[in-house]
Amino acid sequence: MIIVTGAAGFIGSCLIQRLNQDNFNYIIAVDDFSDEQKNKNLEGKKIQERVDREHFFEWLDANYQEVEFCFHIGARTDTTEFNVEIFNKLNLNYSKKIWKKCHDYQIPLVYASSAATYGLGELGYDDNESLIPQLKPLNPYGDSKNDFDIWALQQEEKPFFWAGLKFFNVYGPNEFHKGRMASVIWHTFNQIKKSGEMRLFRSHNPDYKDGEQMRDFIYVKDLIEVCLFLMHHRRDSGIYNLGSGKARTFLDLVKNTFSALDLEPNISFIDTPEDIRDKYQYFTEANMSKLKSIGYEKPFHTLEEGVEDYVKNYLSKDTYL
């Protein structure tokens, strides 16, 4: 029996599909299931039970002896939300409770952290745990993820195996419900379909030309392969980067989306809103050497490969993973 929190969301639902593929069908799906659009992500997947996140701990106290592993993917991920109490409740305190239960019941745990913890990257993008207390995230979401990482590292009582994964810019199927928080590829596809063009933020940093702001984009299929590796590996606990390891420009991303649609690029630029300019990341790139050092060897999709698969096999067909 495997727990997946955030089960109806983008990454959680993709993870369940991949677990089903390997015949792990006793899945306990934990989420707030009130969003019918989000629930479409779970259609056709093999799930043993759906448990509302508000009742999850009662369920776990009654059923922990059957649980083999916990993937804690669920979180409030809106980087434009500034109500700290929401993040304290859903991200920080909920995660602390899961950690404690996994320790008490000896359940191995993989949880989602975020590259948002790195802020403007003043200290680089190395998953060196000694640097984590010095990181300066740019918003309450990033703070909540970093605060939990710091707390986890301070605990003397830990699950016998645990890993925190700093997700970089994830894209791929099952993000239809995310709206403005969906990936740039999703937005590009929809803008092209609507208007035939894509508008990107202009650069307000003299070191970067328009559209040459860079991010580490990781295809969700690669991310969930790492999750499965850790589920079987169950040693070398710690906090790990999870990106492709290669920064690419937004222009690269958009041009590849046009290419996957067999269209010539039509790209224009608009000013970055003033209220986010001073919090805008111009570069992120995951140092992936730590994960590789514990034996992870699978290659990651290039941006070209990932975008082509996502656009041609999911977005263009309006299908789910």
94 catalytically annotated: no
Burial class (CB in 10 A: 0-12, 13-18, 19+), 122: exposed
Q: Is 178 annotated as a binding residue?
A: yes
Whether the CB-CB separation of 186 and 254 falls below 8 Å is answered with: no
141 catalytically annotated: yes
Q: Rounded CA gap, 193 and 167, in Å? A: 29
Q: Rounded CA gap, 95 and 30, in Å? A: 13
Q: Is 174 annotated as a binding residue?
A: no
Q: Is 201 annotated as a binding residue?
A: yes
| Cβ-Cβ contacts under 8 Å for 273 (sequence gap 6 or more) | none
Q: Is 203 annotated as a binding residue?
A: yes
Whether the CB-CB separation of 257 and 88 falls below 8 Å is answered with: no
Q: Is 104 annotated as a binding residue?
A: no
Q: Rounded CA gap, 289 and 300, in Å? A: 13
**Catalytic residue (one of 94, 111, 125, 141):** 141
Q: Is 31 annotated as a binding residue?
A: yes
Q: Is 8 annotated as a binding residue?
A: no
Q: Is 202 annotated as a binding residue?
A: yes
Q: Is 98 annotated as a binding residue?
A: no
**Catalytic residue (one of 100, 136, 178, 246):** 178
C-alpha closest to that of 111 among 124, 128, 123, 94: 94
Q: Is 75 annotated as a binding residue?
A: yes
Binding site for substrate: which residues?
Answer: 169, 180, 187, 201-204, 215, 280
Catalytic residue set: 141, 178
Binding site: which residues?
Answer: 10-11, 31-32, 38, 53, 73-77, 145, 169-170, 178, 180, 187, 201-204, 215, 280
